Structure 1
Amino acid sequence: MKTIGNLELFNLESIEPLILQPFRETLKAGGYQAFPSAALDFPDGEIDFLKLLVKDPDTTFPGRISGDSLKDIGILSEDWCLIQKGIEARPNDLVAAIIQDEFFIKRYKPRYKEDNSLKELKLQSANVEYSDFDINDETEFFLWGVVTWTFRNWRKL
């Protein structure tokens, strides 16, 4: 484990398959329906959960988030994330960035000129109690990776 600023980073210890049996029924989070769907969204057989989550083990790092600057989009302190390096950030992606020598997870908000060159870059919080970062030429800034997944442990076992 390595702690950099507000983020704890871990190395993937294994890339062995993690095979799980999928739940065979769709899981509804709202509304009522009398009968289950006949068209299940899961493939037959098993799901390699690690393969679903990690596309490139050499460039993917698990991290634990601290702080509540992203609480309004459902990401809380102690949530886990997977960060992939080497992929291009798109507008609204969550990114891991080093700003002024501290690690942050923020929403990537670029604005472009008519010729598609970068006009300005904002790294946005999702909590009104926190300021956004306006990145300019004077900002010590490094885009470290793109957050591809976040996880929360709902029940400690």
Structure 2
Amino acid sequence: MSFTRFHDDPNRIQKTNLETSAMNDYTFNVPGNTNKNSVYFSDPHLRMQKNGTTLCRNMVNIESELRTMDRILERDHKEKNNYMKTQSVKNYIHPSIISKNITKESRATNPVWTLREVTIERPQYLFHDPQMNTSIPFESYLDTNILEKDYYKINCSKKI
């Protein structure tokens, strides 16, 4: 009888462990939009997924502190285990309104009717002919086996 449980497959278990234990897969930016100074981009191609007021610039350091990767765990020394001394400073990203366009796409910033009559002309002269590589100086795609049969000449002048 075959094994049909997908959940107990060792490869699937390994994959879910990799997905759940990866660094920086989650960030603490879930609180509501209660702040009046939230970050909003005027760029039409960028959308914020959640509130960005609680995001920090050093999220990797904060997450490594949560996993106690920044210190050696000991139970004997109280001074070494004091997490308040080794706690990193949280550099919050201060929200503001950004009116700068980050993506440079002509359809979003300049609609079609403004660019319809603009001619696209490049008067620069090229140093080399760009179509020069399209013509092959020798014949290609020839069946050389048939050509060798056609042009084969028997040397009859030899004496046996």
Q: TM-score by structure 1 length? A: 0.19
Q: Which has the larger share of helix? A: 2
Bigger radius of gyration, 1 or 2? 2
More strand by share: 1
TM-score after normalising by structure 2? 0.19
